[in-house]
A and B are shown apart, each in its own frame.
Chain A
Amino acid sequence: MTDIGTATPDVDESQLSMGIDPYERGWMILSIALLVGFLATVTIAGFFMGFQVNGADAEVDPRTVLDSEPWSNPGLRKISDGKYEAWVVAQTWAFVPRELEVPVGSEVTINVTSPDLQHGLKITDTNVNVMVVPGQVSTITYTFDEVGEFPYICHEYCGTGHVAMWGVVNVVPAGQADDEEAGQ
């Protein structure tokens, strides 16, 4: 029969040990080294090279947030040359505004909130990726270094129209951006 340990052998107490095989010991050391290496990589990238996630930013009341500035007038604001702020409302089932146009090389601080359900915002081919949660403002800064159209897509289930909820960041060559519109 299989003895799975429910019988007690005469055990010399000095024999009690983990009984780790030398190969297993080597494997464990390798595993720890690998994980420490990964951790070092994400730490350096996150805290020294700017590949950082969003944190705890402003809180708002989702019932009244759209009644006052800046959320009553979402869109792009030019702060200075090459610097913008975007205020984006994610609501069932559209982003307001649906399009953001910036000149290439612009540093854009994007703020998003939702007055109704949870949403998500990811700008394709960038590191901009945030959850949008009622009561909270998600803020992330990104520099658009390439000309092109970058769709931003809702990535959290928010009901029937979830798949129709998206917009586009239009990064245009320097000098072509409609600064007047952006400055509104």
Chain B
Amino acid sequence: MTVVEEPVGGSDPTRVDRNFDTGYELSQDEKRFIGQHMIVAIAALTIGSLMGPLQSFQFGGLDLYPYLEPIIQSYYQGLTLHGVLNALVWTTFFITGFTTLTTVKGLRRPLAYPKLNKFGFWLMVVGLVTTAVPILTDSASVLYTFYPPLKASWAFYAGLTLVVVGSWIEGYGFFLTLAAWRKENRGVRSPFISLGPIINAAMWQIATLGVAVSILTMLLPWSLGLIDNTDPELARTYFWFTGHPLVYFWLLPAYTSWYGMLPKQVGGKLFSDSMARLAFWMFLIVSVPVGFHHQFVDPGVPETWKYIHAILTYSVFFPSMITAFTVIASLEYGARRNGGTGLVGWIRKLPWTDPSVAAQLLAAILFMFGGIGGLTNASYNLNLVIHNTAWVPGHFHLTVATAVTLSFMGITYWLVPHIMGKQLFSPTTALVQAWTWFVGMIIFSNAMHVLGLLGAPRRSPLGDAAYAPEEWNGHLLRVSIGGAILLVSVLLYVYVMVRTAISKKVEPALVPEVPIAESIRHPQLTPVWLDRFKPWLIAAALLLVIAYGPQFVDQIFNMNLNSPGPDFVPWK
């Protein structure tokens, strides 16, 4: 194995410095821009996460909703806030801000068109406000899946559209920056740390076409009264075209950190640059044509297409298996350099006292269980046992709410101090935050999985369920206990973030740098085909046409716009 220790030449040797940074200092303007993303993201996470425990307490028999009127009218208004703010807003704003950082830091150049990115960001903010108004006034309690003919206010759909379009525009900014860098650095492999999130941005452009078409051709005109009816089954197919790659859109920035940053934080290196790239390209290809695995028990979709998507869903598990190997090998490399020994004894030599590291390691541990549960969901007929049961939110609280969210929290433990030029307030509190999230989520998620296996449906205030047998009670209580621990954890997180932001004490040595791991093997030895968009985009398009084309043609040409929905607002 060739290890190139020192670079030979460089695009700009004057920028080289001796610390572990890439040598590109973020400008004040860039720091402010990334910070604006983080403010929106963390504010959304805070409000959204305060709703979650209310649902969990309801399960255990403590219904606090009556005390929240007139701010929150119902369980479902709270659940809509929880889903939209945590799953859509926190993630999208964090990811676009994080991608801004990885793009300029890795490519060592400013954004090609900073105004374009700023326009995209502010469009997302306008969209967020437009969406928030109907949710907060209880005229869009349709949950984050907004299945028609549940009809939200038109502003809900219009706002979501603006958020998506804004994220597209920020994506164009990233693509153009990478293109500009490539012109300046012909023959040089683009750094993984920048390429990974930009591949994610490309996948997002493809994936969001589903909801974009759904909203613009059906839901928005319907909510404005221009058309009277919807085709709910077609809307489901559109939604899940976006809905599953959405989870990879959340996950890939966490993977970027696990592959390209965390190894640096533990004193190691990226074990394999080429495998990291291969995993990301595979996600670009197979993330999207898997949506029917959310529709395994839908009427209106033939078994054959469901089965084909089951196969493709298994194949999207493969890059995650690569990730498990490469990330663990990268961590082990670092731990052994720090004196770690033994088959698993090296794990103790990881810097567990660093809250950013601990948060991401704990997130990755729970992700293993989330992945295994996810295989159950993907397993065609096995899904019959757990489809739309409490198992499903149990599952995605291990994935999006832990693997992704706890990793993002861990990232903010260096990112926010870095862009503010301060040190993290109370790393010990941050460490407690990471562990309480881990423990709370184990209790919550395990109870939800068990409830699902016993037949408890999702999206139901189970504390009121007349059908709930006594054997559910212990598990319902565990949901509440997990929720209470998570409430403590989220309050600790907000406390650490706010105190970091307002602190005046600065010890320059304690201001974290951006951790960027180098690869054991020089990236220039990675084959060119692992650094080119074209072959992978063509493959992605072909697979989409094959795996989705015929069924889309069938459902669109046989569209049945005949569902007006009820003549009353079903959540009031």
Contacts and interface: CB of A to CB of B under 8 A. Distances in A.
Interface string B488-531: 00000000000000000000000000001111011111111010
Interface of B: 1-2, 4, 6-11, 16-23, 74, 76, 106-108, 143, 147, 149-150, 185, 187-193, 231-233, 236, 264, 271-275, 278, 295-303, 306-307, 310-311, 314-315, 317-318, 321-322, 325-326, 329, 375, 379-385, 387-389, 454-455, 457-462, 464-467, 516-519, 521-528, 530, 560, 562-566, 570-572
Contacts of B563: 62, 134-135
Interface of A: 1-11, 15-21, 23-24, 27-28, 31-32, 35, 38-39, 42-43, 45-46, 51-57, 59, 61-63, 92, 116-118, 120, 122, 124-125, 127-139, 151, 153-160, 162-164, 166
Given A7-B7, A92-B566, A163 B322 contact: no
Contacts of B560: 59, 61, 135
5 closest Cβ contacts across the A-B interface? A159-B570, A5-B523, A7-B7, A136-B299, A155-B457
A31 B457 contact: no
Contacts of A155: 387-389, 457-460
B471 to A, nearest CB: 12
A89 to B, nearest CB: 14
A38 B297 contact: no
A156 B525 contact: no
24 contacts: A4-B516, A4-B523, A5-B192, A8-B9, A10-B8, A11-B525, A31-B317, A35-B317, A43-B380, A53-B296, A53-B297, A53-B380, A116-B566, A118-B150, A125-B455, A129-B388, A133-B300, A155-B459, A156-B388, A157-B150, A159-B150, A159-B570, A160-B74, A164-B464
Given A28-B322, A42-B380, A46-B380, A122 B389 contact: yes
Given A24-B322, A129-B385, A156-B388, 8 more contacts: A7-B10, A18-B526, A46-B307, A131-B297, A159-B150, A162-B459, A163-B461, A166-B466
Contact of B379 (A23, A42, A153): A42
Contacts of A46: 307, 380-381
Contacts of B382: 42, 45
B1 A19 contact: yes
A117 B457 contact: no
Contacts of A42: 310, 379-382
Nearest to A138: B299
